[in-house]
Amino acid sequence: MAEVRFSVPKQSSAGGADNAVPSVKMLLEDVSVFYGTFRALAGVNMPVYEHHITAIIGPSGCGKSTLIRTLNRMNDTVDGARVEGRVLLDGEDIYAPDVDPAIVRRRVGMVFQKPNPFPKSIFENVAFGIWLYNKRISRSELSDRVEIALKRAALWDEVKDKLKQLGTSLSGGQQQRLCIARAIAVEPEVLLMDEPASALDPISTMKIEELMLDLKRDYTIVIVTHNMQQAARVSDYTAMMMMRPDRAGELIEFDRTEIIFTNPKDKRTADYVSGRFG
Amino acid sequence: MARSITEPTPQDFSAVELRGDASVRRRQVIARTGRGVLFFSLVLGLVALLTLFLNVFDKLGGYAVYAFKIDPLTITPSRPLEELSREELLALIEKHVPEDAKALIPEEYGAPLEELSNEDLVNILYNDTPSPETLTAKPLEALTREELIEVLQRNVTGTRFEQLQAERPLEQRTREELIELVEVEVLQRSVVWQWTLFESIFNRDAILAEIASRYPGSDYEFKWWLTPRFIASDQTTRPETTGLRPALLGSLLVVILSILFAVPIGVAAGIYLEEFAGKSRLGAIIQTNIYNLAGVPSIIYGMLGLAVFARALRDFTTGAAFGVPNPPPNGRTIITASLTMALLILPLIIVNTQEAIRAVPQALRDAALAVGATKWETVWHHVLPVAAPGILTGTILATARALGETAPLIVVGAAAYVTMDPQGIFSSYTVLPIQIYTWTKLPEQIFTRVASAAVVVLLVTVLAINLTAIILRNRLRKQI
């Protein structure tokens, strides 16, 4: 593997001739997020590389979740939230005035910290998103696509005989994989995962991690995690965030994961990943 | 890092005794006292509730003494004395004229009884018996069914007779039922005195002795007021025959209509406020006002209903605008009452809908939005189904509120005396609480017993509605 530039590329380099530098799927340009007058995120510049896993790490309250929710406009649902700067998806600003947030979220799916299946059947959980964007879909095609999504999420074998059961009746790990199936059923390009395994036991966590490694062939994945080992195990790139004295979160270092964990430029990163604080 | 605080040594821990620390004992005393006060409050509340129930139940039944207001013999068929044979006249004199009067006959008429003319015999009967007209009357029990029906036809007023026919044609009733009907309707068999339920249960012997001494020979029985007949009958002016059906149907119509008006509007407004309105100054003002409206005294809604629905919109609420004949005066119709009641429960439904929606976890909305659903799709497919049990429960509770509410309907004009069922939404009406109020106000004491029976009906209905709400809520919650 060749060295990757530490500095953030200013322009999308998608389709670049350099094989070693993957194309940029999403790009944050000087992104600040405000909740009312409180600045939660200050001037973040960061790329998200296509078909790679980018981990966001950092101590509690440093704005990791705010950052990841900025990538698919989930922060729109928070009263008084405001985003400055540009968030580009394939070179297009998703916060441009004429952009429909529903379409952004369809292209940039999300899995949340706590498994949150709909209180409906397993089938309906996965089918809802598919149906939203193709309301004339035939029953058999819908079934096929639900099956594909569930297989992709490595859940099919466990639930194929009980698709009519409530999604909420599954175990925590299965629920989270159901949520992943639901997210990938609409065929997004980017998959955001906000601490997807923090509520799960080690075996379920391991399954989710294996799944992520498998999914990265088709999707671009961004994951927030508190678990250093997890970031080290699954991610290709790591963004290290910290809270400034004014409590705004900032990105202090972004690099290939092995560099962040073995030879970080910033001392605070070194302290954090080695467990000396945070 | 310098440590300025010394760490506790094992001796420090063992110095604390397990019992006998005065300050801890005092805290425990406070804890026990507090618990006692809470328990006492609970007991006080339960006792108050129990007293209320016992008071109502006490009036529901008990030993009742009856009297006829009219002598039965005056209404049964009889033959005029002039048409009787000599033997019959002599027999009647023998039976009904007192011995001392009989002894005076030869002196008065100048001949012994056997030698007097028929005319004189009739005169004797007229002069020396207390009620000569009824001497030949048949006792009620001896009448045939046809005769009983004839008695009813002759003595019951036209409208009441129609009411009775409508309940069940007289021809289909048994002889015993007809006798009972004559006793109640014609002879006005009325309760002259009734003991309470608990007296009747615990003091039975004393009551029976009192009946024997104060009302000798009177008819008496253990009478319940809450009977199927009472619930199903039309209203009349007499406690023995009056019924609850017009009030029951009136309540039912008013409540159903007000729910139909208030629920769609209230639920829609609640959804909008909670999901779409966002946070703004105006929104906060509206929200505060809705909370306040939910607490406005109900009589004020009555004033509003009177001004708007009964007066300003009279042509519509009486149906005059739609060509309904004979509209009730002053807009005192079911529709006026329903609209007023709808206004009253509207804020309750809005607030309840908001609370039900607020209880839906944000994670669910996030989940739907994250697969690309619009706000509307999120609310419609995921928030509302989860909030539905809560919305439903609140609606049912609002129904119970509407059923028991009295004050606004006094103002918008529920009628006190309605003998017939409501004939439609433009009909005059009465409702259960108003009916109860009217009965308790009447001078005839025994009407308070009727009112108690109606209270039980109202209470049971309201409790049943609330119970339904609880069961539904639990069942729907379980499904999720």
Q: What pLDDT is attached to residue B301?
A: 92
Which segments of chain A does DSSP mark as H helices, in order?
A: 64-70, 101-107, 122-132, 139-152, 156-159, 172-185, 202-215, 228-234, 257-262, 267-273
Give the one of B366, B377, B480 whose C-beta lies nearest to A119's C-beta: B480
CA-CA-CA-CA dihedral for B403, B405, B410, B415, to nearest 10: 10
Helix, strand and coil content of chain B, in percent to the nearest 5, comes to: 70, 5, 25
State the nearest Cα–Cα gap between B362 and chain A, in angstroms.
10
CATH of domain A44-273: 3.40.50.300
Domains in chain B, CATH or no CATH each: 66-72+147-228 (no CATH), 245-479 (1.10.3720.10)
A25-57 residues labelled b (16+ CB within 10 A) or e (exposed): bbbbbebbbbeeeebbbbebbbbbbbebbbbbb
Neighbours of B419 (CB within 10 A): 16
Q: pLDDT tens digits for A91-136? A: 999 999 999 999 999 999 999 999 999 999 999 999 999 999 888 8
Tell me, what DSSP letter sits at residue B278?
-
Least confident stretch, B206-210, B363-367, B473-477: B473-477
State the nearest Cα–Cα gap between A43 and chain B, in angstroms.
25
Q: pLDDT tens digits for B395-435? A: 998 998 898 888 888 888 777 677 777 777 788 888 888 88
Tell whether A179 lies on the interface with B, counting CB pairs under 8 A.
yes
Residues with Cβ within 8 Å of residue B307, at least 6 apart in sequence: none
Whole-number Cα distances in Å, A47 to A54, A93, A203, A218, A260:
9, 14, 31, 18, 16
Whole-number Cα distances in Å, A261 to A110, B343, B376:
26, 66, 45
Give the one of A110, A128, A183 whose C-beta lies nearest to B381's C-beta: A128
Residues with Cβ within 8 Å of residue A212, at least 6 apart in sequence: A53, A193, A221, A223, A234
- A149 contact residues in B (CB cutoff 8 A): none
- B377 contact residues in A (CB cutoff 8 A): 132
Residue B7's pLDDT band (cuts 50, 70, 90): low
Which residue in B has a C-alpha nearest to residue A101's C-alpha?
B372
Residues with Cβ within 8 Å of residue A17, at least 6 apart in sequence: none
Scanning the structure block, which residue is given the tokens 């059961």? A165
Which residue in A has a C-alpha nearest to residue B276's C-alpha?
A77
C-beta separation of B343 from B305 below 8 A: yes
Q: How far apart are CA B300 and CA B304, in angstroms?
A: 6
Backbone angles phi, psi at A26, to 5 degrees: -130, 155
Among A32, A12, A76, residue whose Cα is nearest residue A244: A32
Where do the structural domains in chain A lie, given as residue ranges? 44-273
Q: How far apart are CA B152 and CA B183, in angstroms?
A: 10
Which segments of B359-383 does DSSP mark as H helices, in order?
A: 362-370, 375-378
Q: pLDDT tens digits for B303-313? A: 998 888 888 88
Instruction: Answer yes or no: do A128 and B279 touch at CB < 8 A.
Output: no
Task: Indicate if the pLDDT at residue B4 is higher than 60.
Answer: no
| Cβ contacts of A89-98, under 8 Å, gap ≥ 24 | A89/A25, A89/A26, A89/A189, A89/A190, A90/A12, A90/A14, A90/A25, A90/A189, A91/A12, A91/A14, A91/A27
Task: Indicate if the pLDDT at residue B292 is higher than 70.
Answer: yes
Instruction: Answer yes or no: do A112 and B363 touch at CB < 8 A.
Output: yes
Tell whether B363 lies on the interface with A, counting CB pairs under 8 A.
yes
Tell whether A105 lies on the interface with B, counting CB pairs under 8 A.
yes
Both structure tokens of B342 = 């709808």
In a mutational test of the B interface, the residue from A105, A130, A194 whose CB has the highest number of chain B CBs within 10 Å is A105
Task: Indicate if the pLDDT at residue A146 is higher than 80.
Answer: yes
Task: Indicate if the pLDDT at residue B453 is higher than 70.
Answer: yes
Tell whether A121 lies on the interface with B, counting CB pairs under 8 A.
no
Both structure tokens of A246 = 């004014």
Q: What is the mean pLDDT of residues A187-212?
A: 90
* ipTM given for this complex: 0.87
How does strand A108-111 pair with strand B190-194? unpaired
Q: What pLDDT is attached to residue A118?
A: 94
Q: How far apart are CA A231 and CA A222, in angstroms?
A: 11
How does strand B219-224 pair with strand A108-111? unpaired
CA atoms within 13 A on the CB side of B371: 33
Which residue in B has a C-alpha nearest to residue A71's C-alpha?
B370
Residues comprising chain B, all counted: 480
Which residue in A has a C-alpha nearest to residue B366's C-alpha?
A74
Q: pLDDT tens digits for B380-398? A: 999 999 999 899 989 998 9
Q: pLDDT tens digits for B315-343? A: 787 777 777 777 676 778 888 899 999 99
C-beta separation of A111 from A194 below 8 A: yes
- B365 contact residues in A (CB cutoff 8 A): 77
State the nearest Cα–Cα gap between B351 and chain A, in angstroms.
21
Amino acid at B407: A
Give the one of B363, B372, B385 whose C-beta lies nearest to A116's C-beta: B363
State the nearest Cα–Cα gap between A101 and chain B, in angstroms.
8
Q: How far apart are CA B480 and CA A38, in angstroms?
A: 37
Tell me, what DSSP letter sits at residue A8?
P
Among residues of chain B, what percentage have pLDDT more than 70?
A: 94
Q: What pLDDT is attached to residue B290?
A: 92
